[in-house]
Structure formats: structure tokens, C-alpha cells
């Protein structure tokens, strides 16, 4: 189960090198596959926003043709399936892949074709995965309404919802209120990146002004939780989010890399899970963080001593929160996830 994973943050290093060559992209720091893999995690680790953004300049740079998008999407589905993921929502901003003249529709259709191909190849190896797409708009651009319309137009073709990503500073979610209003009146699903670097105000806006169903990260909600001699106290926003079961798409390693958490052991996920928020565990950018769903869980097991029952709880939380029809969510929980964990818990 995976709800928060960026297509342009999950390429195989070898694919970056090969696509750079086939599409004529110049400017990779190295064409040695192993070295490039290490470069991506080091650049994302460096604490500098410029080098973090440079990593995406390279992945997006090699994803400007239909063939490249199909390949990256197919490999994404295969890699997730090989990691044991049975349902994944993978997101990307179509507007980042039109530098060489592709239309937004062509971008979306190429990625959908790639996901279908990846699902098919995984199934051939006995791995069943369901891929669902979330379309992102970038906060700093002014195309949110247009992308929201595309999310609605493609909702019967594998697009499950919408998200807004990019820098939080100076770009509050309320800048795109018209897009969110359009989605709500269209009965469409959306999540919002909020409460990663920025605090409670961005979470409050995303939930109460924009109407987000889930929060991308949302971990700064801990700033609304205090502790005194009587124990832990939730402020009104934290209580609202817990009471209404708003899912938090938590990405532990990514938060450590961007400085939103000091370490996995000190990550707010421990407290939020203890307080029974609807916490889910996600990868964000597998290439930049050098992580998988399994490695994220392994890190949490090390830090917090979680067992299979806890991992099942996070997994069912995620499935309950998916942008998928209720009957299909239930079927995956009852027919795939619970029987799978029953084996592990025996």
C-alpha cells in the first residue's frame, strides 16, 4: 500500500542514464550508473534546496518524450510490485513534461499506458498491483484549474485524484481555491501537500479552506499537541483531524532529508501513531531517498519497535484512505491485505 509517491522521484538510476542518452539530455553530473545513484541521494541529503531541486531537473529532463514516460511509469509499477505493494497511488505534475512539445493529454496517456504495461509485466511474474494516478499542479505555476479539469476528465481512465505540490513558502493552498472548489463540486478526490516544512497554518488552510480529504505529510500537526503533567493535549485543529480521520501521508525518510524531522527515531510519526491519527507510511521520492516501502517500514521497526500488527494497521489505514471506490477498497482489505498479514501474524 502506497499513497504518496512521485513518478519523477522514483526512476532507476540506470534508466536516467539510458534515457539521457536516447533523448539527448545533456547535463547529468555523471553517466556512471552507481555513481549517479549515489549522487541523487547525496544531493537530496545535502540540506541545500538548490541541489534538492537539481535532482528533479535531471529526472524531469529525461522524461520529455512519450517513450520515456511509458518506460518510467512501467518500471515504477514493476518496482513497487516487486517490493510487495498491491495498491499504489503515484503522482506527477503533467505540466513538467511538456518542454519538448508534448501536450498535457499525451503526457497523461503515456503514463497511463506505462502503468498498464507495468501491471501486466508484474502479473506475468505473479505480482498483482493496482496503479492509480494522482495529477499534481505546481503551486508556483498558475495552472491548477486546468490540471484539476484533467483529473476529472481522466477519472474513469485510472486517475484517482488531484494534488498540489511545490514550494509552500509564499504559495499558500488558498491561492488555488477555484481549483479545489471545482473539484469538490465535481465530487472529485484531492489531497494537498501541507504541513511538511510549513506549520499549522498551511494544514488549517488545506483542510478548512480548500477541503482536502488527505494531507500530504501533515506531520507539523504535532505543533498543535502539547504535553504537561496530565498527559498529552490536542489543540482544536489536531483534534479535528484525528476526530474526522483525515489521513496523513507520512514520508519519514524524505522528512529527515528535507529537515522536517531530525531523525526517524525523533520523527513525529511515533507520537501520531500512538495517538491513533489516521497515519499512513509512504516513500515520497524513492530515488532521492534511496528507499522503498519495505525499507521505510524497516526503519520504523528499528526506531519504534513496531511488529507486524502495527505494519498491518498502517497498511489498512492507507487502504481505507485510498482514492478508490469503497467496494474495491474493502475487497483489497478483506481479500488481499488481511489474509496476507494473517500469514505473517501466525
Residues lying near Zn ion in the complex (CB under 5 A) are found at: 284
Task: Check: CB of residue 119 under 8 Å from CB of residue 129.
Answer: yes
- Contacts of 33-37 with C-beta under 8 Å, sequence gap 24+, read 37/13, 37/287, 37/290
Task: Check: CB of residue 182 under 8 Å from CB of residue 203.
Answer: no
For the CB of residue 264, give the shortest distance to Zn ion in the complex, in Å: 17
CA atoms of 74 and 53, how far apart (whole Å): 24
* Three-state SS at 287: helix
Which single residue brings its beta carbon nearest to Zn ion? 284
For the chain, how are helix, strand and coil distributed in percent, rounded to 5? 55, 15, 30
Residue closer to Zn ion (CB basis): 224 or 284: 284
Cell numbers 509512504 correspond to 282
For the CB of residue 84, give the shortest distance to Zn ion in the complex, in Å: 21
Residue closer to Zn ion (CB basis): 65 or 253: 253
Residue closer to Zn ion (CB basis): 205 or 284: 284
Residue closer to Zn ion (CB basis): 127 or 193: 193
Instruction: Work out the angle between the directed axes of helices 66-82 and 13-23 (0-180°, nearest 10).
Output: 170
Please state whether beta strands 214-217 and 225-228 pair in parallel, antiparallel, or not at all (unpaired): unpaired
For the CB of residue 289, give the shortest distance to Zn ion in the complex, in Å: 11
Q: Catalytic one among 75, 89, 196, 296?
A: 196
For the CB of residue 91, give the shortest distance to Zn ion in the complex, in Å: 7
- Per-residue cell: 112: 497511463
Residue closer to Zn ion (CB basis): 91 or 278: 91
For the CB of residue 130, give the shortest distance to Zn ion in the complex, in Å: 20
Active-site residue flag, 196 = yes
Q: Which residues carry out catalysis? A: 196
Amino acid at each position: 500500500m502506497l499513497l504518496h509517491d512521485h513518478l519523477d522521484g522514483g526512476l532507476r538510476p540506470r534508466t536516467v542514464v539510458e534515457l539521457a542518452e536516447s533523448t539527448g539530455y545533456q547535463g547529468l553530473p555523471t553517466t556512471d550508473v552507481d555513481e549517479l545513484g549515489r549522487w541523487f541521494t547525496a544531493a537530496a541529503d545535502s540540506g541545500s534546496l538548490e541541489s534538492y531541486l537539481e535532482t528533479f531537473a535531471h529526472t524531469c529532463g529525461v522524461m520529455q518524450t512519450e517513450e520515456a514516460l511509458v518506460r518510467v511509469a512501467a518500471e515504477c509499477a514493476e518496482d513497487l510490485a516487486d517490493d510487495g505493494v498491491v495498491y499504489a497511488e503515484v503522482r506527477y505534475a503533467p505540466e513538467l513534461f511538456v518542454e519538448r512539445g508534448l501536450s498535457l493529454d499525451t503526457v497523461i496517456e503515456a503514463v497511463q499506458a506505462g502503468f498498464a504495461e507495468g501491471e501486466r509485466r508484474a502479473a506475468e511474474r505473479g505480482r498483482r498491483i493496482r496503479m492509480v494516478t494522482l495529477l499534481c499542479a505546481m503551486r508556483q505555476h498558475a495552472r491548477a484549474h486546468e490540471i484539476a479539469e484533467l483529473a476529472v476528465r481522466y477519472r474513469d481512465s485510472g486517475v484517482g485524484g488531484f494534488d498540489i505540490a511545490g514550494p509552500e513558502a509564499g504559495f499558500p493552498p488558498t491561492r488555488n481555491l477555484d481549483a479545489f472548489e471545482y473539484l469538490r463540486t465535481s465530487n472529485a478526490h484531492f489531497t494537498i501537500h501541507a504541513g511538511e516544512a510549513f506549520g499549522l497554518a498551511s494544514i488549517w488552510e488545506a483542510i478548512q479552506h480548500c477541503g482536502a480529504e488527505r494531507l500530504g505529510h501533515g506531520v507539523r500537526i504535532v505543533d498543535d499537541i502539547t504535553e504537561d503533567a496530565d498527559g498529552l493535549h490536542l489543540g482544536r485543529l489536531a483534534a479535528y483531524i484525528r476526530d474526522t480521520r483525515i489521513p496523513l501521508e507520512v514520508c519519514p525518510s524524505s522528512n529527515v532529508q528535507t529537515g522536517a524531522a531530525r531523525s526517524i527515531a525523533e520523527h513525529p510519526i511515533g507520537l501520531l501513531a500512538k495517538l491513533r491519527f489516521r497515519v499512513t507510511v509512504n516513500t515520497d521520492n524513492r530515488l532521492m531517498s534511496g528507499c522503498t516501502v519495505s525499507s521505510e517500514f524497516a526503519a520504523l521497526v528499528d526506531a519504534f519497535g513496531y511488529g507486524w500488527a502495527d505494519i498491518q494497521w498502517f497498511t489498512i489505514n492507507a487502504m481505507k484512505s485510498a482514492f478508490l471506490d469503497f467496494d474495491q477498497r474493502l475487497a483489497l482489505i478483506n481479500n488481499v491485505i488481511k489474509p496476507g498479514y494473517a500469514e505473517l501474524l501466525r
